[in-house]
Amino acid sequence: METNEIAREVLDTMLGYLGFVAEVELDTTRDDCSIQVLTGQPELLIGTRGERLDDIQYLVNRIVQTQHRDSPRIRVDVDHHREAQEQNLLEEAEHLAERVVHSGEPAKMPPLNSYHRRLVHTHFTQHPQVQTWSPSDSSRLKRITFSLRQNKD
């Protein structure tokens, strides 16, 4: 049995024990190992700021990794919440980048976790006018700074 199918089964069992009626399916629209939970009670699984969803994802990953040490990281989403959140984050970053291009002044995003920072940095790697960076300290939440790209003439 493949890792993503094991993860789907673990999550389906976990939600069943907790009393949730949900459809748990592999998300084949993404390149990574991703599971989509479809339910009539998404707010109970997501939490106020997504903290419950993060906890569920953490537990699924821990359980799968105890069985398969070298398994890829499993991404768990509920009713496309993470997908919408990531899209909103990239739109906010695009607006900030436009502001930097027009003003010429650096600007910072609110503090982000490592996953969201990687998402933004990756999105802007090929941007012709804007570059991004974040501090290399050990804090969990860091702010990304946008600035104009320096021409290497």
User: What is the domain partition of the chain in residue ranges?
Assistant: 3-79, 84-148
Q: For 4-14, what is each residue's pLDDT tens digit?
A: 889 999 999 99
Q: Which fold has domain 3-79?
A: GMP Synthetase; Chain A, domain 3 (3.30.300)
Tokens 């094991």, residue? Answer: 6
Instruction: Decide if pLDDT at 152 tops 80.
Output: no
Q: Give this prediction's pTM.
A: 0.78
Within a 10 A sphere around the Cβ of 33, how many other Cβ atoms?
A: 21
CATH number of 84-148: 3.30.1370.50
- pLDDT tens-digit profile of 122-150? 999 999 999 999 988 888 889 999 999 88
* pLDDT exceeds 50 at position 75: yes
Contact 65/71 with Cβ under 8 angstroms? yes
What average pLDDT does the chain have?
A: 90
Phi, psi of 111 (to 5 degrees): -60, 135
